[in-house]
Amino acid sequence: MMWAFCIVLLTLITIVALPIVSMSAFMLAWATAHRYMSPVFMFTVIMVFVYLWSMLISKQRNQCWLKKKTQLVLILPVILGICILGGTFAYDAWQSRFEVMRSEVDLFEYEPFHSDKLAVLNKKSSYLMQEPLLRLDGATALYPVYASFVQAVYPREGYDDSTDIVRCTTTPEAYENLQKGDTDLIFVAAPSDKQRELFEKEGKELIMVPLGMEAFVFFVNSENPVESLTSQQIQDIYSGNIINWKDVGGNDERIRAFQRPEGSGSQSALLRFMEGKKLMSPPQKDVVSGMGDIVTETAEYENRENAIGYSFRYYTQGMVKNKGIRLLKVDGIEPSVENIRKDTYPISSPFYAVYVKGNTNKNLKPFLSWIQSKEGKELIEKTGYVAGS
């Protein structure tokens, strides 16, 4: 009677557990980029049930448990599976201790008419836009600038937060939206060669209106003893000719040089800075796509002690405000607002308002004229950028 009860109980547990295990394995495959985790998990659980059933059947038939050697053969795969799963989770936990500097910020903090972070004029704007309102888009780092423009000249009563009149979709998507005609004006860094070619193939001419200057900056972990690099040294690092920090006055550690995805404003800036030198392959990571497939993409910056990354000065200092990184001097020059204004920092580059020639929105030209006026420049400066002369 006792054995019958045990068999029924184990049967019920098996019937209930296997669907749960299958679902858990599916969720594990969805949630992790480690391809082997799901089959290892299923195999481990199945081996647990094989061991239990073998023990129970042996006891019922032979009136004794399985021999220790046989038990060991069955239990070793379970132990191995547990070690693999536990080791993987421990490794992921160890990796996650590094602060990741992601490209996303909370853009709602800079939403027009809802934010106290936006620059404001000392008096009412001399220009106020009427319908049809311009559709705007741009880079994340420039959103505080053009959001302040919107707050200054767009009609509050006619501005609907839920529409796509004013968006911030990042540089690559902003150029794509401009190409498709889904936006009128974008605020971005200069386009990459590939982005230019896409417009040229469709016979569309980009009009680029310079608005100001910004520093393209390189940064390291705040504990890294290196405080300054020459332009040549940075080019050598990103071309793979310098691979150890000791070669530039740092610790004896391999350099982990992070990059940004192709088409992003900072990646395009890096390509221009490299002056034709071939970039080394960037650190990669496996991630889970929306459909659960494993894809490889450029890894986000992880603030390791041997890391180096790059961005634009205002984004790192004004938006992210990451105290765990330190901006490097380049050729001995600090990337400060004063040095950008004096044009002594060697990697200062303009940012633009860009539109396609032939745009028929009647507000485009007056809006651009206002941006380049004293009031527009005042908002650019108050945001934290250096306005054009």
pLDDT tens-digit series, residues 262-271: 777 788 888 8
Higher pLDDT, 263 or 71: 71
- Which DSSP category does 43 fall into? H
Q: Is 287's pLDDT higher than 50?
A: no
Which homologous superfamily is 106-211+350-385 in?
Periplasmic binding protein-like II (3.40.190.10)
d(CA 272, CA 158): 41
Task: Please state the rounded mean pLDDT for residues 303-327.
Answer: 82
Max mean pLDDT range (53-62, 94-103, 217-226): 217-226
How confident is the model over 143-197, as pLDDT tens digits?
999 999 999 999 988 666 657 799 998 888 999 999 999 999 999 998 988 899 9
- pLDDT over 90, % of the chain: 42
Q: Taking residues 371-379, report their average pLDDT.
A: 96
Q: Are strands 256-257 and 386-387 parallel, antiparallel or unpaired?
A: unpaired
Pairwise CA distance, residues 256 & 243, whole Å: 8
CA distance 305 to 280: 20
What is the pLDDT at residue 180?
94
Beta strands in the chain (DSSP E): 100-101, 136-138, 185-189, 206-221, 228-229, 256-257, 284-288, 294-298, 301-302, 307-312, 325-327, 329-330, 348-356, 386-387
Percent of the chain topping pLDDT 70: 80
* Per-residue pLDDT at 292 exceeds 70: no
DSSP letter (8 states) at residue 96: T
Domain ranges of the chain: 1-92, 106-211+350-385, 213-340
Least-confidence region, from 183-192, 225-234, 305-314: 305-314
Question: Looking at residue 26, what is its pLDDT?
Answer: 53
- CATH of 213-340, picked from 3.10.310.10, 3.40.50.300, 3.40.50.12280, 3.40.190.10, is 3.40.190.10
pLDDT band for position 64 (cuts 50, 70, 90):
confident
- pTM attached to this predicted model: 0.68
Whole-angstrom distance, CA of residue 347 vs CA of residue 27: 46
pLDDT for the residue numbered 286: 39
Output the pLDDT for position 108: 84
Lowest average pLDDT, out of 89-93, 167-171, 210-214, 267-271, goes to 89-93
Rounded mean pLDDT, 225-232: 95
Segment 103-151, tens digit of pLDDT:
456 788 889 988 889 999 999 999 999 989 999 999 988 999 999 999 9
319 falls in which pLDDT band (50, 70, 90)?
confident
Please say if the pLDDT value at position 73 is more than 70.
Answer: yes
Higher pLDDT, 8 or 371: 371
Q: How far apart are the first and last CA of the chain?
A: 94
Q: What is the pLDDT of residue 300?
A: 52
pLDDT score for 18:
64
- Do the two domains 106-211+350-385 and 213-340 of this chain adopt the same fold? yes
Q: What is the mean pLDDT of the chain?
A: 82
Torsion region of 315: left, alpha or beta (phi above 0 gives left; psi -120 to 50 gives alpha): alpha
The mean pLDDT of 83-93, rounded to a whole number, is 72
